[in-house]
Amino acid sequence: MKPIPSLLANDPSIAPLLAAIDGQHQAMIDTVIAWSRVNSGSRNMGGLARMEQIILDAFAVLDPEVEIIDLPDGEIVTNAGDVEVMPNGRCLRLFKRPDANRRVLMTGHFDTVFATDHPFQEPVWQDENTINGPGVADMKGGILVMLEALKAFEASPNAGSVGWEVILSPDEETGSLESRNVLTERAKAADIGLTYEPALADGTLAGARKGSGNYSMVVKGKAAHAGREFFEGRNAVVLLSEIIAALAALTNGKPGLTVNPAVVTGGVAPNVVPDTAVCRFNVRLEEPEDAGWFEAQLDKIVADFNTRDGFSVALHGGINRPPKAISPANQKLMDAIAACGAELGLNVSYVATGGCCEGNNLAAAGLPNVDTLGVRGGLIHSANEFVMVDSFTERAKLSALILLAFAAGALDDVLAAKSNTAA
């Protein structure tokens, strides 16, 4: 393996490429502010379409092949316990040299968690290095990092040895429920994966990740007047409270497994026995095999409570992101990226996290990946979301160097380890 720290010293073409990224600092700031002002909440189909076109226009400079992938409709459980169709947007697939011997899959998303009626819509400067705004870190800033890294890479004389593919999805913030099939398919055609969720503010990257699943438990009973016909009713809220206790008791049923009953709705008025109640809950798990145990426990809870007279219990949802364990190939990729960081004077370290992202899906498909290569920032999913603007060029240079190292064969031991694991 060619030592990664020798790349800058031994290849005089690299330094000018990285210097060109430095020249894009102000343009990246201006662009993320403009992009942040475009509401692209996961349910805002109009905003997603607008953001989609903005991204296509921005990436056109790379002259990629483009595929627009319509995602199928999904389902959502309403507070009334009904299942309704939920439209999804479209995935963008941009790619170049798909038949190259070395192939990298770069993924991200252009949806945010902020709906059109959310008060957090406008980016503002907090200080000379910090912008607070929707999506500035998660992850419109990450898309910009990806773009600038690819622009620098395409200017390299070695670019022809790598085929790259970018997948940008509109439903990551709702769990990638429909785009996960696209991610799985494209992961199988790649050698390494790079995902552009934000790094922590100090530059730390995510390593192992827990898996996650989102569910809705719906209880149907019978409405009745709380005074005149109380005993004719079947109180769905009361039964649901018992179910919630059973769900919460599953926490630590396997090491590191947690269940969070989070959102509860039901009833219409204090003088009416409620006939419907809904609990939305999340599970986090460390080991892939724990998913089967957990789902068997859910099936038992549903079956047990469905025996209650006058009630029906239904479960919706599932585990959408398997746990991301660190395979030998993934560890080698992490080490290689840390070495690229060291060459740029960056201390790249990793920490295990209970959070999850597209990196979970890529790992489940067998693709070694690092999934927090975006900007440095924090407080995502809140109105305090921020990005540190000095990280735009910093992180773009890191990704450019990773791609250049890949092209130079310095990551071939990752490919060998991946092949050994598959065998």
Q: Look up the CATH number of the domain holding residue 160.
A: 3.40.630.10
- At which of 321, 348, 375 does a domain end? 321
- At which of 321, 356, 384 does a domain end? 321
| Residues 275 and 332 occupy one common structural domain | no
Q: Determine phi and psi for 356, rounding to 5 degrees.
A: -145, 165
| Residues 216 and 284 occupy one common structural domain | yes
Other C-beta atoms closer than 10 Å to the C-beta of 238 total 15
| Residues 169 and 48 occupy one common structural domain | yes
Q: Which residues of 379-397 are buried (b: 16+ CB within 10 A; e: fewer)?
A: ebeeeebbbbbebbbbbbb
| Residues 132 and 32 occupy one common structural domain | yes
Instruction: Please name which of 408, 401, 407 lies closest in space to residue 15, comparing C-alpha atoms.
Output: 401
Q: CA distances (Å), 283 to each of 177, 240, 361, in order?
A: 15, 18, 16
Identify the segments of the chain with pLDDT beneath 70.
Answer: 1-6, 9, 423
Please check whether residue 363 is in contact with residue 107, taking contact to mean a CB–CB distance below 8 angstroms. Answer: no
200 inside domain: yes
Please check whether residue 108 is in contact with residue 142, taking contact to mean a CB–CB distance below 8 angstroms. Answer: yes
Q: Determine phi and psi for 260, rounding to 5 degrees.
A: -120, 95
59 inside domain: yes
Residue 139, preceding bond cis, omega within 30 degrees? yes
112 inside domain: yes
d(CA 400, CA 385): 26
Q: What is the CATH number of the domain that holds 297?
A: 3.30.70.360
Please check whether residue 401 is in contact with residue 395, taking contact to mean a CB–CB distance below 8 angstroms. Answer: no
| Residues 189 and 229 occupy one common structural domain | no
| Residues 290 and 154 occupy one common structural domain | no
- At which of 270, 304, 321 does a domain end? 321
- pTM beyond 0.85: the answer is yes
| Residues 130 and 91 occupy one common structural domain | yes
- Output the pLDDT for position 1: 44
193 inside domain: yes
| Residues 202 and 264 occupy one common structural domain | no
| Residues 280 and 354 occupy one common structural domain | no
82 inside domain: no
| Residues 342 and 251 occupy one common structural domain | no
| Residues 96 and 189 occupy one common structural domain | yes
Number of domains observed in the structure of the chain? 2
Give 43's DSSP letter: T
79 inside domain: no
d(CA 136, CA 388): 9
| Residues 222 and 135 occupy one common structural domain | no
360 inside domain: yes
95 inside domain: yes
Give me the domain span that covers residue 239.
Answer: 211-321
